[in-house]
Amino acid sequence: DATLALPTAMIGVMGPSAAVNAVFYNKIQELPEAERPAYVRRLQDEYREDIDLYRLASDLVIDAVVAPSDLRRELAARFALYETRRRPAVARKHGVFPV
């Protein structure tokens, strides 16, 4: 029901270098050798901005960025809230469960 992240979290399937190489490999190979490093750096910077933890939090993709020292308290408070929460029964035999 909530997505929490530690300040050191990286929200992405892979790091900037691997992501850029996986997605833009052919385009990178088409460029002259001298232009490749600058192009790759620019794409990596764009990727870092896209997966920036605080930007994702401001876009409400992440509900909270929690310091490690506050994590136990945050989880306990959320679990206490969820304990009293009641969900209506799904009318279908096999309802769709949240992922």
d(CA 31, CA 40): 11
Tell me what pLDDT residue 95 has.
65
Per-residue pLDDT band at 90 (split at 50, 70, 90): low
Residue 91 lies in a domain: no
pLDDT digits (tens, 9 = 90+) for 38-80: 999 999 999 888 877 777 777 778 888 999 999 999 999 999 9
In a domain, 92, yes or no: no
Residue-number span of the structural domain to which 71 is assigned: 4-84
> At residue 36, what is the residue type?
R
Q: Within a domain: residue 60?
A: yes
Q: What is the count of structural domains for the chain? A: 1
Q: How far apart, in whole angstroms, are the C-alpha atoms of residue 56 and residue 65?
A: 10
- 24 within a domain of the structure (yes/no): yes
In whole angstroms, give the CA distance from residue 87 to residue 64: 23
* Assigned domain for 93 exists: no
